Structure 1
Amino acid sequence: MRTDGHVRNLASNRRFRHLLAVRLTSQAADGMFQASLALSVFFNPALGEASDPFRYAAAVAILLGPYSLLGPYVGTVLDRFSRRNLIGGANLARAALMIVICLTLPGGFNWSWVLCAMVVLAANRFVLAGLGAAHPQVVPAKDLVTANSLASTLGALAYGLGLATTGIAKLLDSGVSYSMLALAAGCGYLASAFIVGASFRRADLGPPVDDEAATGLWRGIAQTSSGMWEGFKHLGRRKGPALVMAVQGLHRFLYGIVFIIAIALFMGFFWDVESDPTRTTTISWLLVLAILGNVGVLAAAIATPRATRVWGPKNWIVVLMALCAVVVAALSGTMKPVMFAVAVLLVNIASQGLKITVDTSIQRGVEDAYRGRVFSVNDTIYNVGYLAGLFAAAFVVPENGYAPGTLVGVALSYGLICVGYAYLARDEAPYDAQTWSPAATEARPTTSQ
């Protein structure tokens, strides 16, 4: 598919450029804040030495729990209030909360900055979802697919740049404190809020004025909850999407286990306190892992459309799960930092390739009347599976993270998923690859990202 003409159209579209600027400043700030938050939790002497897998799991769960739970309900809010105001207001609130975090973070563990961080991360759901929902308001339908792809890719790069900026600042021992890094992120949120407020009028990004108050907010939330159950029941009649969603939920559970093992290893078993008392090497490796994870996501976005056309989506899922099984098995036999770096790249290719295939299976294999509700069910399975994996690992992984036996169990589990899915889905592909095209203009029927 040629996209150069679409890119030229978007480059000349002033409203799209402004909306993209809102995304890039916001996501760059996200990268800076989340990197400074992770470093402050695991490497801040004021918070004590981080050496407990349960602490790693709890830190992720506390901060991402509200973000995950909000997922199915974000669309309800975005379809009833001005998206321009919600995006701007969320970023203004995050900028203000950065001040509280900057003042309380240096004093050690304090629920004030923990709660503020939770709100900041939860608000990110509204910002990213609002930006995605606003694209049809500023981009012609013929350019929409390219706009979505371009915005997501550049947003991921901006987020990675924010991560790298924070990591390099700490590696160079520049004297910049965690509080100052968080404050810099606040400036990014403030800039994003200013751009959206100055570039668009209240109704420019939707929803249509006549639709804003179609139903009350609380009624909409109640309808979303009941709709998720209806979507779950509908999956009983759509075996193809249901099976691949189950595979993704199990993958996210195992992914959470491997994540905890990796963090614990780099914080414990791989750390040589005598040669690296300040953990410079540890921070360097974690920065490398974060960058390779983003590279894997981008690689999957490039490879998956072609792979599903050549092999078919069902076989692509089998290949990805087999890849995870082989990679994790190799980790259990080597337990070397460089192998974990390679594994992060490959497992993230598998994870994102699986996600793309699941999304497409819902778009193509679920009736339009149920599609949004099924996406809500999928978002919940995706996040709950990951959180469950984090806490499962916390109970079986030792403090130094050296758990080759657990990795063997994970590898065997991936193998069982691979074989089980290949058998159960032998007559139920996720979707018909012959009718799917990466140029399809049908947008994802949910505003969550």
Structure 2
Amino acid sequence: MRTDGHLRSLAGNRRFRQLLGVRLTSQAADGMFQASLALSVFFNPDLGEANDPFRYAAAVAILLGPYSLLGPYVGTVLDRCSRRNLIGGANLARAALMLVICLTLVTGFNWTWVLCAMLVLAANRFVLAGLAASHPQVVPEKDLVTANSLASTLGALAYGLGLATTGVAKLLDSGVSYSMLALAAGCGYLVSAFIVTASFGRSDLGPVDEAPGGGLWRGVADTTAGMWEGFKHLGRRRGPALVMAVQGLHRFLYGIVFIIAIALFMGFFWDLQSDPDRTTTISWLLVLAVLGNVGVLAAALATPRATRVWGPRNWVLVLIGLCAVVVACLAGTMKPVMFAVAVLLVNIASQGIKITVDTSIQRGIEDAYRGRVFSVNDTVYNVGYLAGLFAAAIVVPKDGYTPGTLIGVAVAYALVCLGYAYLARADAPYDAQSWSPAAPAPRPTTSQ
């Protein structure tokens, strides 16, 4: 399908351009803030000894924890409050919190700026979801697919630009402090809040109709009960349930490998005499971040065809098997370049599994339960990763050199692969005919 006409229509749509401006300024500020947060935790001498796996786990938990806890409830709020006011208010609050962070960041690793950082990132969930929910109010239905694709792609680029700007500023030793970087992010949030409040009226971005089911607290209670109903429904849909379990185990093991990699580059791979300012370390971490994103893109391109050719179940087995081989190779080499290659391959596996899981829920779960099952999946996805991070913080030494742990992770991946191959032999993630036109007859792949 050609998108030229849709792009021209969107380019001439003033309201869409304004909403896109809100997204780009907000996500660029997100990139700057999250990069400055990570750098301040990993490289700020004022926060004490840098080589601490628990600190790495805590830093990532700050980034993901609010998402994990608030994710299922965001829609409840968006359907009951003015989205324009919610987006503008959230960004104004984040700009104010940046001032607190700037004043407290230099005093050390204390809970004041940690709490503020968590609030900033929790608000981000509402901003991005609110922007996505607002598209139907400013874009004709025929242009929605293109608008969603364009907004998400440009938003990701803006976020990456914010990350890169902060990373390069520290890499070049520009003298810009962590507090100044956070303050610059606050200015971005302030601009985003100004654009949305100046461009739209209170009800312009929805919700159009009053949400069913009563007030906000009733909605929160209903959402909690709905997640439990979605969990119980998975017991009758083995195909999606099994592949979701595989993804949760993969995220746990992925978290362990992540902490080992960070600890190695901050410790074992770091040469104090030749690189006292950790310039090489920062460069390697930027390379890993880029390769991780390349892996996500490669998985998005490869997964549709791979699932059609091999089937979704076999594709998941290939990806988990790939993780086992890659991690085993890491244990045998322990070289920086091998970790760079591993980041690319493991991120291909991680995103490929995620796409397959999402598709299994879309095709294998009834519409009446689909939203609740997605909420359960979102929680399993993030909680599994966080559990892996803190499990690694307990067993990984400060310099990260632990080939024995990597061997254990590789064995665990192999066991997950074998276990899934056995348990899902008659329960693929979704129906065979949905991926193979050569399937001789319909064959249900989920237990009734």
Q: Same fold (TM over 0.5)?
A: yes
Q: How far, CA to CA, are the matches of 1:268 and 1:310 in structure 2?
A: 43
Is the 8 Å Cα contact of residues 270 and 281 (structure 2) preserved in structure 1?
A: yes
- Match of residue 352 from structure 1: 351
- The alpha-carbon distance between structure 1 residues 93 and 296, as it changes in their structure 2 partners (threshold 3 A), is same
Q: How far, CA to CA, are the matches of 1:310 and 1:193 in structure 2?
A: 47
**Aligned-partner SS, 2:106:** helix
**Aligned-partner SS, 1:275:** coil
- Match of residue 81 from structure 1: 81
- Match of residue 439 from structure 2: none
- The alpha-carbon distance between structure 1 residues 147 and 423, as it changes in their structure 2 partners (threshold 3 A), is farther
- The alpha-carbon distance between structure 1 residues 77 and 329, as it changes in their structure 2 partners (threshold 3 A), is same
Unaligned runs of 5+ in 1: 438-449
Pair 1:426 & 2:420 matched = no
- Match of residue 32 from structure 2: 32
- Match of residue 122 from structure 2: 122
- The alpha-carbon distance between structure 1 residues 121 and 97, as it changes in their structure 2 partners (threshold 3 A), is same
Q: In the TM superposition, what is the alpha-carbon distance from 1:60 to its structure 2 partner?
A: 2.4
Is the 8 Å Cα contact of residues 307 and 435 (structure 2) preserved in structure 1?
A: no
Unaligned runs of 5+ in 2: 437-448
1:397-444 superposed Cα distances (whole Å, 9 cap, x missing partner): 11100111111111122222222222222222222365479xxxxxxx
Q: How does 1:36-435 map to 2 (within 5 A)?
A: 36-208=36-208, 210-212=209-211, 214-432=213-431, 434-435=433-434
2:88 aligned partner, one-letter code: G
Q: How far, CA to CA, are the matches of 1:10 and 1:304 in structure 2?
A: 29
**Aligned-partner SS, 1:277:** coil
Q: How far, CA to CA, are the matches of 1:332 and 1:297 in structure 2?
A: 24
Q: How far, CA to CA, are the matches of 2:26 and 2:245 in structure 1?
A: 33
Q: How far, CA to CA, are the matches of 2:425 and 2:136 in structure 1?
A: 38
**Which shows bigger deviation, 228-237 or 282-291?**
282-291
Q: In the TM superposition, what is the alpha-carbon distance from 1:212 to its structure 2 partner?
A: 4.2
Q: How far, CA to CA, are the matches of 2:117 and 2:352 in structure 1?
A: 30
- The alpha-carbon distance between structure 1 residues 410 and 146, as it changes in their structure 2 partners (threshold 3 A), is farther
1:127-149 superposed Cα distances (whole Å, 9 cap, x missing partner): 11112222233333333333323
2:128 aligned partner, one-letter code: L
1:150-198 superposed Cα distances (whole Å, 9 cap, x missing partner): 3222222211111111010001111111011111111111121122222
Q: How far, CA to CA, are the matches of 2:245 and 2:59 in structure 1?
A: 26
Q: How far, CA to CA, are the matches of 1:316 and 1:201 in structure 2?
A: 48
**Which shows bigger deviation, 210-219 or 361-370?**
210-219
**Aligned-partner SS, 1:211:** coil
1:100-137 superposed Cα distances (whole Å, 9 cap, x missing partner): 11111112223221111110011111111112222233
- Match of residue 444 from structure 1: none
Q: In the TM superposition, what is the alpha-carbon distance from 1:75 to its structure 2 partner?
A: 1.1
**Aligned-partner SS, 1:202:** coil
Q: In the TM superposition, what is the alpha-carbon distance from 1:352 to its structure 2 partner?
A: 1.4
Q: How far, CA to CA, are the matches of 1:213 and 1:191 in structure 2?
A: 34
1:15 aligned partner, one-letter code: R
Pair 1:11 & 2:11 matched = yes
**Aligned-partner SS, 1:107:** coil
**Which shows bigger deviation, 249-258 or 126-135?**
126-135
Q: How far, CA to CA, are the matches of 1:145 and 1:384 in structure 2?
A: 31
**Which shows bigger deviation, 299-308 or 351-360?**
299-308
- The alpha-carbon distance between structure 1 residues 139 and 241, as it changes in their structure 2 partners (threshold 3 A), is farther
Q: How far, CA to CA, are the matches of 2:229 and 2:212 in structure 1?
A: 24
1:49-87 superposed Cα distances (whole Å, 9 cap, x missing partner): 211212221232245323311111111111111111111
**Which shows bigger deviation, 126-135 or 400-409?**
126-135
Is the 8 Å Cα contact of residues 43 and 49 (structure 1) preserved in structure 2?
A: no
Is the 8 Å Cα contact of residues 153 and 298 (structure 1) preserved in structure 2?
A: no
1:325-351 superposed Cα distances (whole Å, 9 cap, x missing partner): 121111111111111111111211211
- Identity percentage of aligned residues: 86
Count, aligned residues: 436
- Match of residue 446 from structure 2: none
Q: How far, CA to CA, are the matches of 2:435 and 2:13 in structure 1?
A: 28
1:344-379 superposed Cα distances (whole Å, 9 cap, x missing partner): 112112111211221121111111111111111111
Please provide the CA RMSD for this pair. 1.8
Q: How far, CA to CA, are the matches of 2:38 and 2:163 in structure 1?
A: 10
Q: How far, CA to CA, are the matches of 2:257 and 2:287 in structure 1?
A: 17
The alignment's TM-score, normalised by the length of structure 1, stands at 0.93
Is the 8 Å Cα contact of residues 309 and 434 (structure 1) preserved in structure 2?
A: no
**Aligned-partner SS, 1:400:** coil
Q: Which runs of 4+ in 1 moved over 6 A?
A: none
Q: How far, CA to CA, are the matches of 2:55 and 2:109 in structure 1?
A: 13
1:165 aligned partner, one-letter code: T
- The alpha-carbon distance between structure 1 residues 144 and 365, as it changes in their structure 2 partners (threshold 3 A), is farther
The alignment's TM-score, normalised by the length of structure 2, stands at 0.93
